[in-house]
Chains A and B, each alone.
Chain A
Amino acid sequence: MTEPLLSVQNLRIELNTRDGVAPVIDDFSFDLFPGEAISFVGESGCGKSMTALGIMGLLPDGVGKIASGSINFAGEDLATADDKRLRNIRGNEISMIFQEPMTSLNPVYTIGEQIAEVLRAHQGLSRQASWSKAIELLDAVRIPNPQARVSDYPFQMSGGQRQRVMIAIALACEPKILIADEPTTALDVTVQAQIFDLLNDLRKQTGTAIILITHDMGAVAEMAERMIVMYAGRKVEEGPVQQVIDNAGHPYTQGLISCVPHILEKLTTERQTLQEVPGIVPSLRDFGKDQCLFATRCKYVSEKCNNVRPTEIEFESSQTVACWHTERKQ
């Protein structure tokens, strides 16, 4: 068994809200192995983006902070690392791309400059060398006519192209981990497929591990080998993608999967009714309570669910579920 590249243990991230401090991530642990592609799945507000920001050390000052837990990477704990070390790692060993390509690039600098600066900052390349490398990178992310386009400004490019530029920037220094936070949500469906293809190919070429953050089960099925389902700041299920899709242990996961019928292997000719999951996500005030936070929406709810937070139970091989009632569904 190889050593995990990134090992997050009992992470707790707290947010300052008007009603006090709330744990947007509550006792969260996972491992990431070199070259792996995993996915955090869940609704908006479940804390998946916060985890990513926490790993990168980008939690907004005064708003959120890592309260406890550890983020072990390359032998050190990022949760306690100083600013200088974190800056060293960002863009260099761990990179991130974001959801809104239209606004994620600086409008007053050329895209070439925005790629080149990360090369100059971390690899010490000269202006000349970083500029040529930028052109190579644009080619690698399949932007046609890269020599001309390298001097373009972001407003001269489409959303899909800008996202490719973001990928080029993120992979420029050959990081060990790429975190992609909803990279295709703001793009057209056809462009989405292209971006996923690109990411998959690049992963095979460079061996970079990818953490895909998304609420879209379809994207998970395309990109990830292993998935982590999150709800209200907690992990509720984890396992190999195809296995979880075929046989989900947690009722929330089942709900998510049933919303995307085309990924189910077993499709019948009869029409399947979309099962809805009734209720809404708990508010931030309720995060952190010692009970199952999905209880109000669950059809298997029992008294234990309302009083004790479920622990992670092994469901099948290499698949874990945080639910008191896994036996019922098998």
Chain B
Amino acid sequence: MALLYTIATRIMYAGILLLAVIILNFGMMHLAPGDVADSISQSMGGADEQVLNEIRATYGLDKPFIIQLGSYIGKVLRFDLGYSFFYTQPVSQLIFQKLPATLLLVITAQFLALIVGVFLGVYSAQRPNGISSHFVSFFALFGYSAPVFWSGLLLLIGFSLHIQWFPVAGMRDVTIEGNFFEETIDVIRHMVLPVITLASIFLALYSRLSRATMMEVLGSDYIRTAKSKGLTDREIIYKHALKNSLSPVITLAGLQFSAVVSGAILVESVFSWPGLGTLAFESIIARDTPTILGILFFSALVVIVGNLLTDLTLRLVDPRVRTNK
């Protein structure tokens, strides 16, 4: 049926996008001066021309660009992301070790920002001149204008160092070896500050948009009709108005995925969260091409999947979207 067809086309389209990402990144890596052989020789303390050439041959770096690109794409299709020269591990292994932590951070932050943002927006839209409305405007400015790593550091200083509610770094306390429940609580404790930091930017955006949309919706004709039917305020707001004001916010959330991933890199750095961010940073400095490509690939994948899920959610919420496009 139509829905499957749409999903299939979207996935295919996503695949093409990913391919383009790979090609672009591959091209960029090879455009730049210097390569991994140079960085290996650096860590070895220097090497002469012959050794460098041997290294290059070992890793297939002496073949023409197109052939290298072709073989890389071929490998990716077989789920082989190559081997990291720097970490001496298969790249996929590296990434899968770190991916869950980043996903946990990104998904929780997005959800938190969305749910709280929409709720705040709905609440303050009904009281346009009240405190909550001013809070939304004010908080929106703060959340958006403060550099995310700075807010993170401030939260760290405040809540981990001075008032010691939350742990200072990492995702886990290694000394805890209890059951699943205790370990989960431990992760959650570690997660609170990073998630709040990351969510704060987007919470600001979503609550502002939600409030504006809700106010517009509340002034529309069909709300007047709903009132004239004698429905309760609750039904009018949460049944009639809310569903109409969700679409723009969900759309925005979808568009923000790449920003959330970017923010996650910085947040991971601040809180020493063991995700892809730190890995990315190290491998960029080390010119570890396969790892960098792998990370770029995966983060683009996360964004694309996020967009896809957002699209599907939008279709659930707004029936007009189902027949268009």
| A interface list, Cβ under 8 A from B | 56, 58, 86-92, 95-96, 98, 100, 103-109, 117-118, 121-122, 153, 155, 166, 169
Let me know if A104 and B319 touch, CB within 8 A: no
User: Which of B15-23, B69-77, B136-144, B219-227 forms contacts with chain A?
Assistant: B219-227
Quick one: closest A residue to B221, CB to CB? A103
Interface residue count for B (Cβ, 8 Å)? 20
- B230, CB-defined interface residue at 8 Å: yes
Contacts of A96 in B (CB 8 A): 228
Show 19 residue pairs from A and B whose CB-CB distance is below 8 angstroms, ordered by the A residue: A87-B230, A87-B231, A90-B227, A90-B228, A90-B230, A104-B222, A104-B224, A105-B225, A106-B225, A106-B226, A107-B244, A107-B320, A108-B317, A108-B320, A118-B230, A118-B231, A153-B320, A169-B225, A169-B229
Q: Which interface residue of B220, B222, B227, B231 has the most chain A CB atoms within 10 A?
A: B222
Instruction: Report the separation of the CA atoms of residues A107 and B245 in the bound assembly, to the nearest whole angstrom.
Output: 12
Contacts of A103 in B (CB 8 A): 220-222
Q: Which of A100, A109, A121 contacts B231 (CB 8 A)?
A: A121
Q: Is the interface of B mostly helix, strand, loop or mixed?
A: helix
Let me know if B225 and A98 touch, CB within 8 A: yes
| B interface list, Cβ under 8 A from A | 220-222, 224-232, 235, 240, 243-244, 317-320
Q: Which interface residue of A86, A89, A103 has the most chain B CB atoms within 10 A?
A: A103
Q: A108-B319, A109-B243 are in contact. List 9 more A-B contacts (CB 8 A).
A: A87-B232, A89-B230, A98-B228, A105-B222, A106-B244, A108-B318, A117-B231, A155-B320, A169-B225
Let me know if B229 and A118 touch, CB within 8 A: yes
Let me know if A91 and B230 touch, CB within 8 A: yes
Q: Which of A121, A122, A153, A166 contacts B225 (CB 8 A)?
A: A166
User: What is the minimal beta-carbon distance from B223 to any residue of chain A, in angstroms?
Assistant: 8
Contacts of A92 in B (CB 8 A): 230
Instruction: Report the separation of the CA atoms of residues A106 and B228 in the bound assembly, to the nearest whole angstrom.
Output: 13
Contacts of B235 in A (CB 8 A): 117, 121
User: What is the minimal beta-carbon distance from B49 to any residue of chain A, in angstroms?
Assistant: 69
Q: Which interface residue of A87, A95, A105, A108 has the most chain B CB atoms within 10 A?
A: A108
Contacts of A117 in B (CB 8 A): 229, 231, 235
The 6 closest A-B pairs by CB, nearest first: A90-B230, A91-B229, A91-B230, A103-B221, A106-B222, A87-B230
Q: Which interface residue of A86, A92, A107, A166 has the most chain B CB atoms within 10 A?
A: A107
Quick one: closest B residue to A153, CB to CB? B319
Instruction: Report the separation of the CA atoms of residues A169 and B225 in the bound assembly, to the nearest whole angstrom.
Output: 10
Instruction: Report the separation of the CA atoms of residues A227 and B318 in the bound assembly, to the nearest whole angstrom.
Output: 43
Contacts of A88 in B (CB 8 A): 230
Quick one: closest B residue to A113, CB to CB? B239
Quick one: closest B residue to A172, CB to CB? B229
Instruction: Report the separation of the CA atoms of residues A98 and B228 in the bound assembly, to the nearest whole angstrom.
Output: 10
Instruction: Report the separation of the CA atoms of residues A103 and B317 in the bound assembly, to the nearest whole angstrom.
Output: 19
User: What is the minimal beta-carbon distance from A235 to any residue of chain B, in angstroms?
Assistant: 24
Instruction: Report the separation of the CA atoms of residues A121 and B239 in the bound assembly, to the nearest whole angstrom.
Output: 13
